[in-house]
Amino acid sequence: MVATGVNSLNLSPIYQGKVRDLYAVGEDHLLMVASDRLSAFDVVMAEPIPNKGRVLTALTNYWVHELGDGVPTSLVSCDPVEIDTYVPGFLGELDWHGRTMLVRRAQMLPIECIVRGRLAGSAYAEYSRSGTVHHMAAPTGMRLTDAFDQPMFTPSTKADEGHDVNIDLDAAAEIVGAEALRDAATLCVDLFTRASHLLAQAGLILADTKFELGYVDGQLVLCDEVITPDSSRLWPADQVVAGETPPAYDKQPFRDWLTEQGWDKTPPPPPLPDEIVSITAARYVAAYETVTGRSLRDWYGRGQ
């Protein structure tokens, strides 16, 4: 687990998220360090999940490059050798290898950009109550895991505290402006569609994913994590049955376990048994290796 603020580089953290810590690198760049912290329902668990930060970083790097050179992104490099040219001494910070992205500073778009190909999660809960998704019209008669006719762009707020709130397109346009929302929706739906096609070849379904976007030098670019178990629902295609919760390569099974404990979703969370930590860690590694066809052992950093 990354210890925020403790490093041999004399870097001061400028932000600590539930999973990632940000450090300034001059005026134009940041180090984004993914810890092994695990959050659910906006609460961070006490127990780290081994290799989780490496998986999130490795998958993001994979998708940025797999989706092609035409994808605008804030990512500069995950390679410790290249990062060391920007941050002298980084090669000696071994605990950060494989979990660190050097990125360009961006002015973040103040909404979450979610694309949904299947009905699941909070969208399913709302649909079950009202027949809508993010307060927008949706086809009638849909069941859990059913596919939308077209990927659906469904934004939410970004909450500094508490939970994000699902909103419709009109509410999102009031926050970011109609033009920015249109550009964000076009980019995100295109990325979702391309990733879905690639995953289908591996027998996987991308049910939904959350993108983070921001502006670098006036251009809207992809930021933060990309199609990871923390930001996406990923299902084995041959095990999806309409109306039933499918097995998943994401953290939904862990969220389900928490719900079964009768936890009220406020701190402190229940302690995680070693078995749950091990199962969750294995699921993260399996997500990377199933999606990429590569071994996590070959990724930067020290495995745990």
Counting residues of the chain whose pLDDT is more than 90, the rounded percentage is: 87
Question: Does 268 sit behind a cis peptide bond, omega within 30 degrees of 0 on the bond before it?
Answer: yes
Helices (H) and strands (E) counted in the chain, each on its own, are: 7, 16
Q: Which residues of 231-263 are buried (b: 16+ CB within 10 A; e: fewer)?
A: bbbbbeeeebeeeeebebbbbbbbeebbeeeee
Please give the average per-residue pLDDT across 9-17, as a whole number: 87
Please give the average per-residue pLDDT across 121-143, as a whole number: 97
User: CB–CB of 113/155 below 8 Å?
Assistant: yes
C-alpha 210, offset from chain centre: 6
Q: How many CB atoms lie within 10 A of CB 185?
A: 19
Please give the average per-residue pLDDT across 39-53, as a whole number: 94
192-224 residue pLDDT tens? 999 999 999 999 999 999 999 999 999 999 999
Confidence of residue 1 (pLDDT cuts 50, 70, 90): very low
Confidence of residue 8 (pLDDT cuts 50, 70, 90): confident
Lowest mean pLDDT among 91-95, 159-163, 249-253: 159-163
Asked if pLDDT for residue 269 goes beyond 80, the answer is yes
Which pLDDT belongs to residue 6?
A: 52
| Sole residue written with tokens 């936890």 | 263
Domains and CATH numbers, the chain: 7-105 (3.30.200.20), 108-254 (3.30.470.20)
pTM: 0.94
Please give the average per-residue pLDDT across 28-42, as a whole number: 95
88-128 residue pLDDT tens? 999 999 999 999 999 999 999 999 999 999 999 999 999 99
Which pLDDT belongs to residue 302?
A: 79
